Structure 1
Amino acid sequence: MKYVQGLMVVCAAGALSACGSGDGFSLPTLDGKPALVVAHRGAGGTLPEETVEAYARAIEQGADAIEPDVISTKDGVLIARHDPNLAFSTDVAQHPEFASRKRKLSVDGELQEGWFASDFTLAEIKTLGGISTDAERPQEFNGKFKIATIQEVVDMIKKSGRNIALYAETKNPTFHRQQGVPLEDRLLALLAAAGWNDRSAPVFLQSFEPGSLKYMRGKGSTVKMVQLIDADDVDLKTGALTFAAPYDRPYDWAQAGDKRLFSAMVTPAGLAEIKTYADGIGPWKRYIVSVKGTVGADGKVADVNGDGKVNEADTTSQPASTLVADAHKAGLFVHPYTFRNEARRLAADYKGDPKAELKQFYALGVDGVFADFADTALAARAEYLKQVGY
């Protein structure tokens, strides 16, 4: 990914209030409306992610959309879970009745050991409890809340009485086809049964694999679709994105022998290609604003804050790329991921304030944000809109 020096043509963060006019500030989003706040995996920052309770909390917080990752059980029921491997986010290891189910399986070319959802019926999965996937987040709820089905998430949205969107991701779609439980047709059928099968539906469908989105388009779906764009990490010495399997390219590209990296998607040609089957992009936020550390005399990235660890808290944010403007020029909206509150995830120039990072992205014209703490993203948006006189 090639970064340009200099911000997009937006008002400087410190002088946003000067950008207003008598008619109010013209927002730099694609449609001129305030950016959406998407509750990433529900209220994943405070409760075990993708549980019924986490989605209920996100709705209470006022999120504009709630995001489930879509995987399938053995009996073909779609559930909300980030990983097919249940070892990562459930207490399955504490269930001796399932000890014999533990096995090794290749997921997108990566050999994993654990318990896989496609080996369990929904009834069995409903006996498991979700656990926090971040050691710095509350652990007292581990095992207490159950995994949500996608139907339950739909029902919660409908019962809320609010205009909330379902922002669903087909997770590891090639893997699910290999396991004999493909996702797309079941997801489209579920949406059709909800009456959410046209352009005006409160639905976004997203995937890292272009083939999944293209398949659903080919089945006649006109709901809003989003191409996710990943990378492996950031080289903190240079600020450049790094690419290593399985985060280097879409897995369906890898299966087809397509050698392009995810970075090919953010070129003008890549964006034009995405526009043929999707309405927007969901890039890792480092494609828009990367971070860079300080290299010490030993050639290593310095622990600037002296906490004994080297992470994003020891970095500074870099000049923004042109990706938002490029995507808008191609007619695509931009929903970067994932905004989080932990200090270790915030560049030093944000001074420990997650709202400072969010307001920078709002000023750059992103059309939505994925946030683990939707309440923080909503508060930052309210402050930004007030500051610019919207």
Structure 2
Amino acid sequence: MTDPASQTRLIAHRGASGWAPEHTEAAVRLAATLGADAVEPDLVASRDGVLVVRHDVELGETTDIADRPEYADRRATRTVDGHEVTGWFAEDLDWAEIATLRARERLPRLRPLSAARDGEQGVLRLEDLLRIADEVGLDVVAELKHGDHHERIGLPLDALLADAVAGTHWASSGRLVLESFEERTLHACRERGIDARLVYLMADGGTAVDLGADGPSFAEQRTDAGLAALAGRVDAISVEKAALFARDEEGRIGPSVLAARTAEAGLGLITWTLRPENAFLEPEHRLGEHPAAWGDWTTEWRMVAALGLEAVFVDHPDLWRRVAG
């Protein structure tokens, strides 16, 4: 019989971000070396419409911008998707300015070895990442971050993406997957002629920003009726790892029925993000008290591997290969 894990694609979450600061060239190249099938960049827009590979529109968490006096006056507070955020925003800088920044580890307390590499590398544009992906043979699973926010400020991500891939094989080769927590952003990309698999990211709670307060919640969209409706609009859904587990009456952990229900609806199922540190494991798989210590990740990841998902997001690609081949 075919091992279900052998059919699961390995997506390096922002590169091999367990070993090097996320979204850097080093992390992307290392991901290929460690056996990833694809890399996942998060995309935000600069003031001049360049798609920048960063975790969020706020740059202080993942770059050295807070230490750069020339950008001190750019610090601002604004509302993004209903949340007040203070920091330095990509849309307030041109690409030439962002290109001067140096990347930093986003989780330094949990990943001090990666944090030791702070400042070694700069920030990538989408075109830089696509070039590197071609060189090392990785597919690309691009997350369009805060689509509604970008549209409101006149930087629509669908238009910027269409321009970025126009005339390249990425627009039609099947090597590009698009994902977003906002379904409208995905459809806008397809309407612009980008031939890519569409993946709807679904949080554990709340409602998609583009649906508004009166729209169906993510939980309602994961009912049988909700999944059946989504199957006519997207190719797959992507959920938090915790959604794959359920507990019996005695509190023992096991697989939830989500994988079977999603397959029944004709949708692919992807999960994010597998990490070995205690901070990210289910309680019974933690070893010791320190959140940065590695727990019994092999048991938990084997449970995920047995589900035969379409793909998994992993920070340490080599660790997934140990448990899933």
Q: Percent identity?
A: 32
- How many positions carry a matched residue from both structures? 313
Inter-partner Cα distance in structure 2 for 1:318 and 1:266: 21
Q: Do structure 1's residue 321 and structure 2's residue 268 form an aligned pair?
A: no
Aligned to 2:42: 69
Question: Of 336, 349, 352, which aligns to 2:271?
Answer: 336
- Pairs within 5 Å for 1:100-119: 100-119=73-92
Inter-partner Cα distance in structure 1 for 2:18 and 2:244: 23
Question: Of 293, 296, 300, which aligns to 1:357?
Answer: 300
Query: Once the 2 structures are TM-superposed, how far is the Cα of residue 222 of structure 1 from its aligned partner?
Result: 2.9
- Pairs within 5 Å for 1:55-204: 55-134=28-107, 135-137=109-111, 138=113, 139-160=115-136, 162=137, 164-198=138-172, 200-204=173-177
Inter-partner Cα distance in structure 2 for 1:336 and 1:280: 11
Query: Once the 2 structures are TM-superposed, how far is the Cα of residue 333 of structure 1 from its aligned partner?
Result: 1.1
Query: Once the 2 structures are TM-superposed, how far is the Cα of residue 74 of structure 1 from its aligned partner?
Result: 0.7
Whether contact under 8 Å (1:317, 1:349) holds in the other structure is no
Whether contact under 8 Å (1:217, 1:277) holds in the other structure is no
Query: Once the 2 structures are TM-superposed, how far is the Cα of residue 141 of structure 1 from its aligned partner?
Result: 1.3
Could you list the runs of 4 or more consecutive aligned residues of structure 1 that deviate by over 6 angstroms after TM superposition? none
- Pairs within 5 Å for 1:255-270: 257-270=213-226
Query: Once the 2 structures are TM-superposed, how far is the Cα of residue 259 of structure 1 from its aligned partner?
Result: 3.7
Query: Once the 2 structures are TM-superposed, how far is the Cα of residue 136 of structure 1 from its aligned partner?
Result: 1.4
- 3-state DSSP of counterpart to 2:313: strand
Aligned-partner residue type, residue 92 of structure 1: I
Query: Once the 2 structures are TM-superposed, how far is the Cα of residue 348 of structure 1 from its aligned partner?
Result: 4.6
Distance 1:317 1:65, change over 3 A: farther
Query: Once the 2 structures are TM-superposed, how far is the Cα of residue 193 of structure 1 from its aligned partner?
Result: 2.7
Query: Once the 2 structures are TM-superposed, how far is the Cα of residue 317 of structure 1 from its aligned partner?
Result: 6.2
Cα RMSD after superposing both structures: 2.0
Query: Once the 2 structures are TM-superposed, how far is the Cα of residue 277 of structure 1 from its aligned partner?
Result: 2.1
Aligned-partner residue type, residue 159 of structure 1: E
Query: Once the 2 structures are TM-superposed, how far is the Cα of residue 291 of structure 1 from its aligned partner?
Result: 7.2
Inter-partner Cα distance in structure 2 for 1:192 and 1:258: 36
Q: Do structure 1's residue 373 and structure 2's residue 312 form an aligned pair?
A: no
Largest Rg, 1 or 2: 1
- 3-state DSSP of counterpart to 1:127: coil
Whether contact under 8 Å (2:12, 2:313) holds in the other structure is yes
- C-alpha distance after superposition, 1:107-133 (max 9, x if no partner): 101011100000011111111111111
Inter-partner Cα distance in structure 2 for 1:225 and 1:317: 34
Q: TM-score, normalising length from structure 1? A: 0.76
Query: Once the 2 structures are TM-superposed, how far is the Cα of residue 38 of structure 1 from its aligned partner?
Result: 0.4
Q: Which runs of 5 or more residues in structure 2 are unaligned? A: 288-294
Query: Higher strand share goes to which structure?
Result: 2
- 3-state DSSP of counterpart to 1:58: helix
Q: TM-score, normalising length from structure 2? A: 0.91
Inter-partner Cα distance in structure 1 for 2:110 and 2:197: 34
- 3-state DSSP of counterpart to 2:299: helix
Aligned to 2:291: none
